[in-house]
Amino acid sequence: MSASYRQPDVGDAASFTVDPLARICGEVAGAFRRKWGRGPAKTTAHWAGPNILVVLLHNGHTEQEKAIRAAGHIQQLLDGRQVLQQILEDELKAIVANATAREVLTMLSATRLDPDLSAEIFLLGRARTSEHPRMVQRVDQAKAFAGASRSDARAVRAEAQQARVKREELHQ
């Protein structure tokens, strides 16, 4: 049996398979970098259920924001961050919609100073199957895997509980 591999052309985007969460992380960080002059040091994206996506931006405050914080102007700093998040909302929603091939119903934003962390939370609607059928399939597979993982975790917890009960019975 043999397999062949074709080096994709640089412009051949269809040849690349990119994890939707990794794509979202890179594009969200890039959006902040373009608008704010500095992006987060680390960006992670996590499914928090079948219709909720959480994107965490770690260590994303600029040196200027850190100086504002050190001077005690906390509320002004948080207000500025809120304005930035409002300015970016449509762009961030489009990034998530394109990467997941799903409608973004709404987006919530939050920022904390200690630790330096921001969160973008997306509530997703139905799949846009006509636009990205392959992506929809990958998202469905990821959701099925997440559901199976939750079921496995419940089973492990139930087995652990049964083992504790048996130990307690033996020690009585």
Per residue in 139-165, pLDDT (tens digit) is: 677 777 777 777 777 777 878 788 788
Which residues does 95 contact at the CB level (< 8 Å), separation at least 6? 24, 27, 28, 31
Domain spans of the chain, in order of start:
17-171
Whole-structure pTM value? 0.64
Mean of per-residue pLDDT scores for the chain: 82
Per residue in 124-141, pLDDT (tens digit) is: 998 865 555 666 667 677
